[in-house]
Amino acid sequence: MVLYFESKHSYNYDFETTSLAYLNRYPNPFAKHVLSIDTLDYHIDSQGQLCKTNLIVKQGRLPKFIKPFIGSANLKSWIIEKIIINPKSKSMITYTSNIDHHKFIRVEEMLKYREKDNNNTTEVLSKVKFSSNLFGFKRKIEQWSHERFKLNYNNTKDGLTYVMNKLKQRRRGMMVVE
């Protein structure tokens, strides 16, 4: 069985601010589990779209019932991220997937951002796929990952909103001390 998580959310920011915040979303206080992000490649394609590939390292937890198989419930996970931003259509597509631990769990996330009706609102559609190949634990791991993702989903939205607010403050010339 493969599980999916789908959602739709709107940010009260224009597409330019939202896409810039997405590209600069780490670090933020809602993503302390992100250890690093490195750009592997970026270019402008023949259609004028920005294409970017990142490598993200995150500290994560696996369920305790996995510990006997790998020796720890805490581990680093390596994530590949592909981003395509189309400034003409004011849309952005992102794809992320872990590139390790496939035997235990593979998490693939597709996000589609687009400006909504030219009214300084950006809509994001999210679809996440959870699939495991660990015989005997497949369903349990997929369910655990799905539930954990749902619990952390608000942190993702709050983190991006935090970065957008910082961008807005900088544009106004305000200095914020934390």
Cα 124–57–178 angle (5° rounding)?
A: 70
CB 21 within 8 A of CB 28: no
Look at the block and give the residue holding tokens 């010339």.
173
Query: Residue 176 pLDDT > 70, yes or no?
Result: no
Indicate the burial class of 26 (C-beta count within 10 angstroms; 0-12, 13-18, 19 or more). Answer: middle
pLDDT in tens, 64-90: 777 777 666 668 999 999 999 999 999
User: 3-170: what fold?
Assistant: Alpha-D-Glucose-1,6-Bisphosphate; Chain A, domain 4 (3.30.530)
Q: Pick the residue with more confidence: 66 or 8? A: 8
For the chain, the structural domain boundaries read 3-170
Q: Summarize the chain as % helix, strand, coil (round to 5).
A: 30, 40, 30
- Looking at residue 117, its pLDDT comes to 82
* Res. 175 pLDDT band, cuts 50 70 90: low
Q: What is the largest CA-CA distance in the chain?
A: 57
Q: Which residue stretches of the chain are H helix?
A: 15-23, 67-70, 138-171
Which of 141-168 are b and which e, b meaning 16 or more Cβ less than 10 Å from the residue's Cβ?
Answer: bbebbbebbeeeeebbeebbbbbbebbe
Query: Residue 108 pLDDT > 80, yes or no?
Result: yes
pTM: predicted TM-score of the whole model, two decimal places: 0.91
Q: Record the tokens describing residue 65, joined without a space.
A: 């019932």
- Looking at residue 118, its pLDDT comes to 76
- Looking at residue 73, its pLDDT comes to 61
